[in-house]
C-alpha cells in the first residue's frame, strides 16, 4: 500500500501519472521502555524512517512529481535542507525528470551524497536557511528559474507546492486508521517544525477527516521547534497570530528555516486543533536521539527526536497527562546525518581481537 490508496482524499492526478517507490504505510509503534521511564505511559512513535529515501518527504515527492508528470513538466528547480532534496531527486530519477537543487551550506554530508547518487545537480548557497533576507533572495531567484514552461518549483511548503504537501496529509489518514486498529483515541500529536509544512499538513489532514465525519475526536497538533529556530512555536505559545523570521542558530539539520514560510497558517491550524508551540534545546534533542536508539531501537536523525523532546517538556509543565495517548512523529532515519550518530557513539569502540580472546570480552 502507498499514499495513492488515499488519492481520493488529496489528489486528482490520473492513475497513469501516479509515481511511487512504495512510500507511506509506515508503522505506528508503542514505546516499550522510553515512554514509561519518561512518565509517558501511552507514547507512540510514527516511524517515517521506513520511507524509500528514509524520511516523510517521500510522501511530498510522490505527490509533487506525479503532478508534474500529469502537467507535462520535465525539470525540477528547488531548494532543500536535505530530506526534500533526497526525496525529490529519487522520484525525479524514477520519473525521468531532471533535478536541480540549491541546498544549505550546513546540509549533512549523508543527505548531500544521497541527492548526488540520484543524479541531482546541486549547489550550496551561503546563508541559505540561516538568514531570512538571504533566503528570500534565493527563493526569488529560484522562482525565476522555475518560471520556464518545462520547469516546476519544488519547495516542500504549502506556500510553494500545495500539490506536493497534500501528499504529506496522508500521515494523518494513516494515523487515524492505525489508532482505530489499536483501539486508541489520540489526544496529542507532536510534530517537528522548520518552515512548518509537516505540522500544517498533519493538522489539515485531521481536520479534513473530521469534516468528512470520519474522525470524531481529532487530536491536538503541537508544533515543536529548536530554540535556535523559533519562528513558529514561540509565537504560537505566546498567543500571536503571525510567525516571526529569525536568525537561525540551531544545529538540528532539516529544521534550520529562519523564514516564516507556512508559519502563519501553522499557528492558526495548531491553535484550532487545541495544540500549542514547544521550544526545545539542541542538547535535549541529541540526548533523546541517543536514548531512542538505545532504549527503543529507533535510529533517527536529530530532527526525528524533536517531537519527543517537545512531549517531554509538555509533560514536565503538566500540559499533558502521563496517561494521555501521544504520538510523536519520527521524521528521518539516522543515516541522513553521519556527524550526529558519531556524537551518539562517542567513547564507544569496536576493537579487533584474536579468536582466543573472545571468551574474555
In the block, which residue shows the cell 546541486? 122
3-state secondary structure the chain: CCHHHHHHHHCCCCHHHCCCCCCCCCCEEECCCHHHHHCCCCEEEEEHHHCCCCECHHHHHHHHHHHHHHCCCCEEEEEECCHHHHHHHHHHHHHCCEEEEEEECCCCHHHHHHHHHCCCEEEEECCCCCEHHHHHHHHHHHHHHCCCCCEEEECCCCCCCHHHHHHHCHHHHHHHHHHHHHCCCCCEEEEECCCCHHHHHHHHHHHHHHHCCCCCCCCEEEEEEEHHHCCCHHHHHHCCCCCCCCECCCCCCCCCCCCCCCHHHHHHHHHHHCCCEEEECHHHHHHHHHHHHHHHCCCECHHHHHHHHHHHHHHHCCCCCCCCCEEEEECEEHHHCHHHHHHHCCCCCCCCCCHHHHHHC
**What is the pTM (predicted TM-score) of this model?**
0.95
Q: Are 278 and 189 in contact (CB under 8 A)?
A: no
Q: Are 24 and 173 in contact (CB under 8 A)?
A: no
- Please write the tens of the pLDDT for every residue from 294-313: 999 999 999 999 999 999 99
Which domains, from first to last, does the chain contain? 7-55+165-344 (3.40.50.1100), 57-159 (3.40.50.1100)
- pLDDT at position 66, please? 98
- pLDDT at position 107, please? 87
Quick one: what percent of the chain has pLDDT higher than 90?
Answer: 80
| Segments of the chain scoring below 50 in pLDDT | none
- pLDDT at position 337, please? 86
> Which grid coordinates belong to 143?
522562482
Beta-bridge mates of residue 223: 191, 277
Alpha carbon distance 289, 237 (integer Å) = 25
In the block, which residue shows the cell 527526536? 305
Pairing outcome for strands 28-30 and 277-280: unpaired
Q: Are 119 and 109 in contact (CB under 8 A)?
A: no
> Which grid coordinates belong to 270?
495548531
- Please write the tens of the pLDDT for every residue from 173-215: 999 999 999 999 999 999 999 999 999 999 999 999 999 999 9
Amino acid at each position: 500500500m502507498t499514499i495513492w490508496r488515499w488519492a481520493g482524499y488529496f489528489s486528482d492526478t490520473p492513475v497513469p501519472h501516479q509515481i511511487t517507490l512504495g512510500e507511506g504505510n509506515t508503522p505506528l509503534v508503542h514505546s516499550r521502555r522510553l515512554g514509561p521511564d519518561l512518565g509517558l505511559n501511552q507514547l507512540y512513535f510514527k516511524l517515517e524512517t521506513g520511507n524509500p529515501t528514509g524520511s516523510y518527504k517521500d510522501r511530498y515527492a510522490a505527490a509533487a512529481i506525479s503532478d508534474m508528470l500529469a502537467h507535462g513538466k520535465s525539470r525540477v528547480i528547488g531548494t532543500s535542507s536535505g530530506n526534500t532534496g533526497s526525496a525529490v531527486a529519487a522520484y525525479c530519477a524514477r520519473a525521468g525528470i531532471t533535478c536541480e537543487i540549491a541546498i544549505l551550506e550546513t546540509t549533512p554530508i549523508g543527505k548531500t551524497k544521497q541527492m548526488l547518487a540520484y543524479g541531482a545537480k546541486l549547489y550550496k548557497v551561503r546563508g541559505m536557511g540561516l538568514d531570512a533576507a538571504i533566503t528570500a533572495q534565493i527563493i526569488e531567484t529560484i522562482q525565476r528559474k522555475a518560471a520556464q514552461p518545462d520547469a516546476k518549483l519544488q519547495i516542500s511548503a504549502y506556500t510553494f507546492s500545495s500539490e506536493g504537501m497534500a501528499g504529506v496529509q496522508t500521515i494523518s489518514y494513516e494515523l487515524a486508521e492505525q489508532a482505530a486498529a489499536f483501539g486508541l483515541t489520540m489526544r496529542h500529536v507532536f510534530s517537528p517544525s522548520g518552515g512548518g509544512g509537516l505540522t500544517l499538513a498533519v493538522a489539515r489532514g485531521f481536520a479534513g477527516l473530521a469534516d468528512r465525519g470520519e474522525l470524531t475526536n481529532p487530536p491536538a497538533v503541537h508544533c515543536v521547534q529548536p530554540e535556535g529556530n523559533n519562528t513558529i512555536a514561540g509565537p504560537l505559545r505566546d498567543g500571536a497570530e503571525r510567525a516571526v523570521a529569525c536568525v537561525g542558530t540551531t544545529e538540528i539539520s532539516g529544521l534550520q528555516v529562519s523564514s516564516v514560510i507556512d508559519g502563519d497558517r501553522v499557528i492558526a491550524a495548531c491553535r484550532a486543533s487545541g495544540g500549542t508551540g514547544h521550544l526545545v534545546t539542541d542538547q535535549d534533542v541529541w540526548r533523546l536521539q541517543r536514548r531512542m536508539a538505545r532504549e527503543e531501537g529507533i535510529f533517527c536523525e536529530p530532527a526525528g527526536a524533536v517531537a519527543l523532546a517537545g512531549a517531554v517538556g509538555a509533560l514536565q509543565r503538566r500540559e499533558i497527562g502521563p496517561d494521555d495517548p501521544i504520538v510523536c512523529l519520527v521524521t528521518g532515519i539516522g543515516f541522513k546525518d553521519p556527524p550526529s550518530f558519531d556524537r551518539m557513539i562517542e567513547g564507544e569502540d569496536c576493537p579487533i581481537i584474536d579468536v582466543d580472546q573472545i571468551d574474555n570480552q
